[in-house]
């Protein structure tokens, strides 16, 4: 394949046919590419290789040999060793698209393979995957954090569009911060909501999710439309007494949650103060209630 070409119909190999690999592989198949081989260690990966990708599980070297485009869809911590292994074992990578889907890594992790002639791409789908059958449906309209050499940008863009996504270009040096922003929003939101559900359940609320759903939906809509200006609640109102009551109740009921509440309340107050939503004297009262200084 010439580096500047738009991808024709390609044979695709998936190294790590798990939640992400099986979904993206299926999306590429729907776009007209052919899944040639896939590998997976877990029982689920092997089952998804057969059920979603229509191939029997193969060894990694067989996947590489069979494919023009190789998806590296393994956990972040396993990616460097996988790439180094491909490069040092003499796998034929020359002219093949080597695509990893990690949000945290950019192109540097693929450098050993690139030196062996691979064409490196980083395509990170901005979506959470659960392994359920609806994962493939989640891909339509999502963003992909894309990092690619300039000469490969047309190929990266075409692949993302073919999978129904929107390419968003991320500089290689910004990948860690990019991924921290996404993980902080999505993963920590799950933890916070699960904690809130548990606390509500402890006091007898029978359906915490039903109670939280409309509130959280409105809050998410507010912040996506308005940014920090969409903030509501006791911190932005400067209600130091209410915030102190929250902290005291959490210290008794769930001390680990109290620590998180204090840290997030400080960050919230800091952002509200900087945006002019909170007066300095209100911020000082909040500092006393939270037991610390947000300007440290």
Ordered DSSP codes for 108-144: GGGHHHHHTT-EEEEEEE-S---SSGGGGGGGTT-EE
pLDDT level of residue 43 (50, 70, 90 thresholds):
confident
| Other C-beta atoms lying within 10 Å of the C-beta of residue 144 | 26
- Give the three-class secondary structure for 15: strand
Question: Is it the case that residue 95 has pLDDT exceeding 70?
Answer: yes
**So what's the pLDDT on residue 42?**
87
Half-sphere exposure of 266 (CA within 13 A, CB side): 15
**So what's the pLDDT on residue 295?**
41
What whole-number distance in Å separates Cα of residue 160 and Cα of residue 168? 10
Q: Compute the average pLDDT of residues 153-166.
A: 97
pLDDT level of residue 292 (50, 70, 90 thresholds):
low
Q: What is the mean pLDDT of the chain?
A: 93
Q: Compute the average pLDDT of residues 35-49.
A: 91
Domains of the chain in sequence order: 11-170 (3.40.50.720), 177-290 (1.10.1040)
The token pair that represents 172 in the structure block: 């290689």
**So what's the pLDDT on residue 6?**
56
Full-model pTM:
0.87
pLDDT digits (tens, 9 = 90+) for 133-150: 889 899 999 999 999 999
* Closest C-alpha among 287, 201, 204, 174 to residue 240: 287
**So what's the pLDDT on residue 296?**
39
What whole-number distance in Å separates Cα of residue 123 and Cα of residue 120? 10
The token pair that represents 296 in the structure block: 């440290």
**So what's the pLDDT on residue 7?**
67
Residues 6+ apart with CB under 8 A from 14: 21, 22, 24, 25, 35, 37, 38, 39, 49, 53, 63, 70, 71, 73
Range with the lowest mean pLDDT among 201-205, 222-226, 290-294?
Answer: 290-294
Range with the lowest mean pLDDT among 52-61, 67-76, 153-162, 169-178?
Answer: 52-61
What whole-number distance in Å separates Cα of residue 224 and Cα of residue 118? 39
**So what's the pLDDT on residue 153?**
96
pLDDT level of residue 235 (50, 70, 90 thresholds):
very high
b/e burial code for range 177-205 (CB count within 10 A of at least 16 → b): ebbeebeeeeeeeeeeeebbbebbeeeee
Alpha helices in 230-295 (DSSP H): 234-237, 240-253, 255-274, 280-290
Q: Compute the average pLDDT of residues 102-109.
A: 96
The token pair that represents 88 in the structure block: 């040092």
pLDDT digits (tens, 9 = 90+) for 13-30: 999 999 999 999 999 999
What whole-number distance in Å separates Cα of residue 73 and Cα of residue 100? 6
pLDDT digits (tens, 9 = 90+) for 113-128: 999 999 999 999 999 9
Strands 69-72 and 11-15: parallel
**So what's the pLDDT on residue 5?**
54
Question: Is it the case that residue 3 has pLDDT exceeding 60?
Answer: no
Question: Is it the case that residue 57 has pLDDT exceeding 70?
Answer: yes
Question: Is it the case that residue 1 has pLDDT exceeding 60?
Answer: no
* Cβ atoms 33, 68 nearer than 8 A: no
- Give the three-class secondary structure for 107: coil
CA separation, residue 220 to residues 185, 202, 254 (Å): 11, 25, 25
């Amino acid at each position: 394949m010439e580096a500047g070409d738009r991808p024709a119909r390609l044979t695709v190999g998936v190294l790590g046919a798990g939640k992400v690999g099986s979904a993206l592989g299926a999306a590429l198949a729907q776009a007209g590419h052919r899944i040639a081989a896939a590998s997976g260690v877990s029982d689920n990966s092997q089952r998804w290789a057969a059920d979603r990708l229509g191939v029997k599980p193969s060894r990694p070297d067989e996947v590489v040999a069979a494919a023009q485009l190789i998806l590296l869809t393994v956990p972040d911590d396993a990616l460097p060793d996988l790439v180094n292994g491909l490069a040092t074992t003499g796998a034929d990578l020359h002219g093949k698209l080597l695509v990893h889907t990690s949000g945290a890594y950019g192109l540097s992790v693929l450098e050993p393979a690139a030196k062996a002639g691979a064409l490196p791409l980083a395509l990170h789908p901005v979506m959470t995957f659960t392994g359920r059958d609806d994962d493939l449906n989640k891909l339509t309209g999502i963003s992909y954090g894309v990092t690619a050499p300039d000469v490969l940008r047309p190929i990266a863009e075409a692949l993302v569009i073919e999978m129904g996504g929107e390419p968003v270009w991320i500089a290689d040096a910004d990948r860690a911060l990019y991924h921290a922003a996404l993980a902080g929003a999505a993963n920590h939101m799950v933890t916070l909501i699960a904690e809130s559900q548990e606390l509500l359940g402890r006091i007898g609320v029978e359906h915490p999710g039903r109670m939280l759903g409309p509130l959280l939906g409105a809050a998410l809509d507010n912040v996506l439309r308005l940014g920090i200006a969409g903030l509501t609640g006791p911190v932005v109102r400067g209600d130091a007494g209410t915030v102190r009551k929250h902290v005291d109740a959490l210290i008794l009921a769930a001390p680990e949650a109290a620590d998180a509440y204090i840290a997030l309340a400080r960050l919230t107050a800091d952002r509200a103060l900087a945006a002019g939503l909170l007066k300095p004297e209100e911020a000082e009262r909040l500092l006393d209630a939270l037991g610390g200084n947000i300007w440290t």
